[in-house]
Amino acid sequence: MVEQTKTHLRKKLFINPKIQGRILWRCVIFWGVYHFLMLHTLLVFEFMSLQIQIMNGGSAIAFSELYSIFLGKYYPIVLTAMAIFPILAFDVLKMSHRIVGPLVPFQHAVKKLKNGEHVEEVNLRDGDLLLEFQEDFNEFLKWYNEQKLNPKKSVETSPNAIRDSEEEILAEIETLHKEAVDNTEASPQPESHAGTGVTVIEQPDGN
């Protein structure tokens, strides 16, 4: 039986850099792009408000000064985003582990099968996202183990065996049909006496 241990699951979330690393990197990009666009959308609105004020007689200021004022006004958003990022990254790793983690026992099971070892079943934890695949894989293992224990049954049910069996049945039917025809031809034929309407069947001599 192949199953995941608590130590492997609980203490090591980052087990596949190729898959989990790509997922985490994409989340970092989306996180950064989202907050960049959100802040600079607010900056555009601040700039437009400043232009309206200038048109109404307000004093103009340099863009760098406007940007400094903007950051001083909205810096709590930046701090909140940075504080949430570790939580987001941890959750992404945890969720991706529910996909990547179950692949480990499946890989071990396949390697054991290649080495000729017996594998009864693969058990995953509740919350993993490959439970349906686990059921299908365990059904395959059950079938595979039955074929190893009963190799004759596997041969008998092979397409070649079925074809040979069909050919034997057809040959037997042909033989029975030929024997029936031969027996019919060998049986005595009734003789009819013309004008009398009487049919006489010759009986074999018992002597």
Residue 88 neighbours by CB distance under 10 Å? 15
The whole-number pLDDT of residue 140 equals 92
- Give pTM, 2 decimals: 0.58
The answer to whether position 27 is within a domain reads yes
Q: Looking at the chain, which runs of residues are DSSP E strands? A: 2-3, 122-123, 191-193, 198-200
Mean pLDDT, residues 123-152: 86
Residue 18 lies in a domain: yes
203 burial type by CB count under 10 A (0-12 exposed, 13-18 middle, 19+ buried): exposed
Compute the average pLDDT of residues 40-56.
92
User: Is position 93 within any domain?
Assistant: yes
Does any domain span residue 191?
Answer: no
Q: 2-34 pLDDT, tens per residue?
A: 444 443 444 678 888 899 999 999 999 999 999
Separation of alpha carbons 10 and 3, rounded Å: 14
- Whether residue 29 is contained in a domain is answered as yes
What does the alpha-carbon distance between residue 205 and residue 207 come to, in Å, rounded to a whole number?
A: 6
Structure tokens given for 156: 């008998």
pLDDT tens readout for residues 170-192: 676 677 667 766 666 655 555 54
Predicted pLDDT at 159: 58
Among 202, 21, 200, 197, smallest CA distance to 97 is for: 21
d(Cα 160, Cα 148) in Å, to the nearest integer? 19
Residue type, 18: K
115: helix, coil or strand? coil
Q: Stretch 145-152: mean pLDDT, rounded?
A: 78
The count of domains in the chain is: 1
What is the chain's mean pLDDT, rounded?
Answer: 79
User: Does residue 62 form part of some domain?
Assistant: yes
**Residue 77 in domain:** yes
Range of the domain at 65: 14-100
* 118: in domain: no
Cα 147 from Cα 145, distance rounded (Å): 5
- Residue 78 contacts by C-beta under 8 Å, 6 or more apart in sequence? 35, 39, 71
